[in-house]
Chains A and B, each alone.
Chain A
């Protein structure tokens, strides 16, 4: 079964994915709302930037993050000035990298979900005396449940499978920054196929179950809507 370091890698991976997802949902909500409602010309540019991780090799992203984390880079200089530990090869460095890497997977479902609401429900709520924040909480959030579920699951699952970014900025410190995908790589390198299997098959099954969950929830939701 799972060895001690494998278990640690699993726990780090879950913690990383959960933290990243939570942060992305919090930051992604205003961002997606802005994208869904703005008429600003900057929108296309921002959308393109957010979608970049979909097309870039993760090593490119990791490379630039690593440069930014270095003592001369913008992030490294800031952390040093605030006398915080360096982000490179640390858990919080991984969180930042994963957040950028998984951003489109959270922002896009939220943005689609907000856009599909249309302006009608919000206008109705406004005429009934609800202010902007009230409208968001009482109308937008409950009507965007599916969007949030999809965003959370995709963000989580995508962070689970991350490899290139982590390798570039997190290194491979067991118990600290070693995540599942890297542990699998190590096992394969060391020809420990049975241990690699445990982790790989576990990840495969887990990813499938998560996706199955979204799609069946989506289906139920649509059935409910049409009846």
Chain B
């Protein structure tokens, strides 16, 4: 369990947070640029000396009435936006920098395992200068983890990378972050990264925590700040189906829910082999509602649904509707006019037209 009640006043910015997240799994700290995500992460790491309040990480007090634990005593791993490898050390020396400072370090077998799973073997004798952005970030992650931290903080680790390295590192992180047994706080402003990596969500805006909790709860809160924003989205998990139609990818989400997407990616990608687990991100504004099943529509995905919840009141002329589709939740954002015209209310059966979904 991580409990953070922090207060930090800077000349141009003020951070006030009070939240708790589970002591395991990946928690995304999500919000627009400039909302204080990085400052929050730095405060948790102990890099903002003026931070007041209390911070407890898995029963260890890092900040509290008894005082503040120094950064080097906290055992906190940080992967910064900019990888910041030590230029005067080789990759191997970088990796071992933190580990060499531990009183009692882990077995060397586990180091080998980590180096293998982050694909660092070949880079060991090289200096950071010649490495690509993605390679540097993998070294930075390995270096942080080899110091055996109690908490891993990642500050937009993908944002400085080009599209293809991002994609590669993201697939690696997806597998990797689920395996490690320490809590991870992952700062990002990308809803795609949230959807793919996070189990929990802390929603931040203008230095304040708007909402926090398990990802489906925060995403599904129809009156929440995230739902009101333009980026409102739902995440549905599924498997790539074995039977495929031409130019389409079919995703089987269980309970007879099948979603189809235009095949914009090459099927050679390992993630899209039949049977592989995928997550779909569906924007609330891409889901429209009909009272009767539309016929001969260009929209591929039309699913029978029941209205589970309606936002209490419209916001900027539209309202967020939470749908229950055979036990899965899906948000739809439609105009207030349509809500009145179709007389939408909780419990009503409708058909959800999913205009587009992103395989993430």
Binding site for B on A (CB under 8 A): 120-121, 123-131, 134, 138-139, 142-143, 225, 227
- Note all chain B residues with C-beta closer than 8 A to A139: 86
Q: Is B84 an interface residue (CB 8 A)?
A: yes
In the complex, what distance in Å separates the CA atom of A85 from the CA atom of B78?
57
- Note all chain A residues with C-beta closer than 8 A to B76: 127
- Note all chain B residues with C-beta closer than 8 A to A125: 86, 97
- Note all chain A residues with C-beta closer than 8 A to B351: none
Whether B71 lies near A120 (C-beta < 8 A) is no
Give the Cβ gap from B317 to chain A, nearest Cβ, in Å: 46
What are 18 A-to-B residue pairs whose CB atoms are below 8 Å? Answer: A120-B84, A124-B78, A124-B80, A126-B47, A126-B71, A126-B72, A127-B45, A127-B78, A128-B101, A128-B143, A128-B144, A129-B72, A129-B75, A129-B98, A129-B147, A139-B86, A142-B88, A225-B87
Whether A128 lies near B87 (C-beta < 8 A) is no
Whether A134 lies near B101 (C-beta < 8 A) is yes
Whether B84 lies near A127 (C-beta < 8 A) is no
Which residues of chain B in 61-111 are interfacial with respect to chain A, using CB atoms and an 8 Å cutoff?
Answer: 70-72, 74-78, 80, 82, 84, 86-88, 97-98, 101-102
In the complex, what distance in Å separates the CA atom of A138 from the CA atom of B97?
9
Give the Cβ gap from B76 to chain A, nearest Cβ, in Å: 6
The 6 tightest CB contacts between A and B, nearest first, are A128-B98, A129-B101, A126-B71, A142-B88, A127-B78, A120-B84
Q: Is B129 an interface residue (CB 8 A)?
A: yes
Whether A127 lies near B82 (C-beta < 8 A) is no
| Among A129, A134, A143: residue with most chain B CB under 10 A | A129
Whether A124 lies near B147 (C-beta < 8 A) is no
- Note all chain A residues with C-beta closer than 8 A to B147: 127-129
- Note all chain A residues with C-beta closer than 8 A to B80: 120, 124
- Note all chain B residues with C-beta closer than 8 A to A138: 97
Give the Cβ gap from B82 to chain A, nearest Cβ, in Å: 7
Give the Cβ gap from A131 to chain B, nearest Cβ, in Å: 5
Q: How many residues of B contact A (CB 8 A)?
A: 25
Give the Cβ gap from B6 to chain A, nearest Cβ, in Å: 18
Whether A121 lies near B84 (C-beta < 8 A) is yes
- Note all chain B residues with C-beta closer than 8 A to A142: 88
Chain B residue with Cβ nearest A118: B84
Whether A143 lies near B87 (C-beta < 8 A) is yes
In the complex, what distance in Å separates the CA atom of A117 from the CA atom of B305?
58
Which residues of chain B in 139-153 are interfacial with respect to chain A, using CB atoms and an 8 Å cutoff?
Answer: 143-144, 147
Other contacts beyond A123-B78, A129-B102, A227-B129: 9, CB < 8 A: A126-B46, A127-B78, A127-B147, A128-B144, A129-B72, A129-B147, A131-B72, A138-B97, A143-B87
Whether B84 lies near A225 (C-beta < 8 A) is no
- Note all chain A residues with C-beta closer than 8 A to B46: 126
- Note all chain A residues with C-beta closer than 8 A to B74: 127
Whether A124 lies near B84 (C-beta < 8 A) is yes
Give the Cβ gap from A170 to chain B, nearest Cβ, in Å: 41
In the complex, what distance in Å separates the CA atom of A131 from the CA atom of B69?
12
Chain B residue with Cβ nearest A142: B88
Chain B residue with Cβ nearest A128: B98
In the complex, what distance in Å separates the CA atom of A131 from the CA atom of B74?
12
- Note all chain B residues with C-beta closer than 8 A to A131: 70, 72
Give the Cβ gap from A125 to chain B, nearest Cβ, in Å: 7
In the complex, what distance in Å separates the CA atom of A128 from the CA atom of B88?
16
Give the Cβ gap from B182 to chain A, nearest Cβ, in Å: 14
In the complex, what distance in Å separates the CA atom of A130 from the CA atom of B82?
20
In the complex, what distance in Å separates the CA atom of A121 from the CA atom of B75?
17
Whether A143 lies near B101 (C-beta < 8 A) is no
- Note all chain A residues with C-beta closer than 8 A to B70: 126, 131
Give the Cβ gap from B91 to chain A, nearest Cβ, in Å: 15
In the complex, what distance in Å separates the CA atom of A125 from the CA atom of B87?
13
Whether A123 lies near B47 (C-beta < 8 A) is yes
Which residues of chain B in 4-63 are interfacial with respect to chain A, using CB atoms and an 8 Å cutoff?
Answer: 45-47
Give the Cβ gap from A52 to chain B, nearest Cβ, in Å: 33
